[in-house]
Amino acid sequence: MNHTATLLRDLRRLGIRLEYHGDKLRVDAPADIWTEELRDKIAQHKAALLELLREEEIHSTFRVLVDGYVVVEARTVDEAVRAFDDTVRGVETAETTVAVELRDGVGTLLRVAYFPPWEK
C-alpha cells in the first residue's frame, strides 16, 4: 500500500472524512483529534489525497444502462445489483431488443440482460 493510501486509511480510522470538490479538499474531523500537526500533514499531501479520492470515486460508481442510456447510478455493489434487478423487472414490451447493462466506474460490463422484441 502506498504512503497516501495508508494516510487515507489512517485518517478514516480516526473518524476523519475527506471529500473533494474540484481542487478543494473538505475535511470533517472530530474536534478532539483535530490538531495543527494533522492539518499540516493533510495539507502537505493534499494533491495526492485528491488524486486518490478521485480514483476511488471512479471505481466505486456503478451504472445501470438501458439501451446505452444511464438510468441509475449506485455507490455500492449491493445497491447496484438491486438497481439492475429492479430495472430488469421493469422492462416493458418493445418493438426492438432492449439491453439492460450493469457497468462499473471504468465501464467494465458486470451484468447484462437482453429482451427480444415482443408484443403485448
Containing structural domain, residue 18: 3-60
- What gap in Å lies between CA 81 and CA 89, rounded to an integer? 12
Q: Does residue 120 sit within a domain?
A: no
Amino acid at 92: E
| Residues facing residue 18 across a β-bridge | 27
Domain end position, chosen among 60, 76, 99: 60
- Are residue 72 and residue 111 in the same domain, yes or no? yes
pLDDT by residue for the chain (120 residues), tens only, comes to 688 889 989 998 898 988 888 888 999 999 999 999 999 999 999 999 999 888 877 777 899 999 999 999 998 888 999 999 999 999 988 889 999 999 988 788 999 999 999 876
- Are residue 37 and residue 76 in the same domain, yes or no? no
- Are residue 47 and residue 72 in the same domain, yes or no? no
Q: What is the pLDDT of residue 1?
A: 61
Q: Does residue 30 sit within a domain?
A: yes
Number of domains forming the structure of the chain: 2
Going from the C-alpha of 80 to that of each of 25, 63, 70, the distances in angstroms are 27, 7, 12
Q: What is the pLDDT of residue 106?
A: 77
- Are residue 7 and residue 56 in the same domain, yes or no? yes
- Are residue 10 and residue 49 in the same domain, yes or no? yes
Q: Could you write out the DSSP letters of every residue in 48-75?
A: HHHHHHHHHHHHH-EEEEETTEEEEEES
Q: What is the pLDDT of residue 120?
A: 64
Cα atoms in the Cβ-side hemisphere of radius 13 Å centred on 30? 7
Q: Determine the distance from the C-alpha atom of residue 78 to the mean position of all C-alpha atoms in its chain, rounded to a whole number.
A: 12
Domain end position, chosen among 45, 60, 75: 60
Q: Does residue 83 sit within a domain?
A: yes
Domain end position, chosen among 21, 42, 60: 60
- Are residue 96 and residue 54 in the same domain, yes or no? no
